[in-house]
Amino acid sequence: MRFSTKAFFAAVLVLSALKGSAQILNPVKWSYGAKKLSATEAVVFIKATIEGGWHLYSQTVEEGGPVKTTFTFPASKDYTLNGTTKEPKPIVRMEPAFGMKVAFFEKSVIFQQKVKVGKFPATVKGAVEYMVCNDEKCLPPTEQAFSIPIK
């Protein structure tokens, strides 16, 4: 069986189109770190690196807006949370798509969570739920699990 040149190029075009439409957008990359503060306390750093043109929303978005960034930390015998997850001052502006002022971050943001630790080494586990938008679209909320060792 022989394929014609036209059939071959048609197949290549169809496969290229399918590959292009199957690409999953992932404009946020997460990285993690930790710093021991004392014999019983540490801080974990949760960094989001955001592609140009995209916004990652603050933890303080009001109802009716985009999905706010939320951190969850399951109960652990190794550590307890010391306060809430801190974030730097976000950009706040009117977003016509939501009809309200919205707080967000561009380029990168580092969230910090202090923990009390029974003994070192310890590992802080949890997840972050977040949503990102650009000027054309919003992506569905995404959850990213993490595990951060503290030595």
DSSP bridge partners of 28: 50
Main-chain phi, psi angles of 91, to 5 degrees? -80, 135
Contact 88, 34 (CB under 8 A): no
Domain 25-150 has CATH 2.60.40.1250: yes
Query: pLDDT 10s digit of each residue in the chain, 151 long?
Result: 444 434 333 333 333 333 444 457 899 999 999 999 999 999 999 999 999 999 999 999 999 999 999 999 999 999 999 999 999 999 999 988 889 999 999 999 999 999 999 999 999 999 999 999 998 999 999 999 999 999 9
Does this model's pTM top 0.85?
no
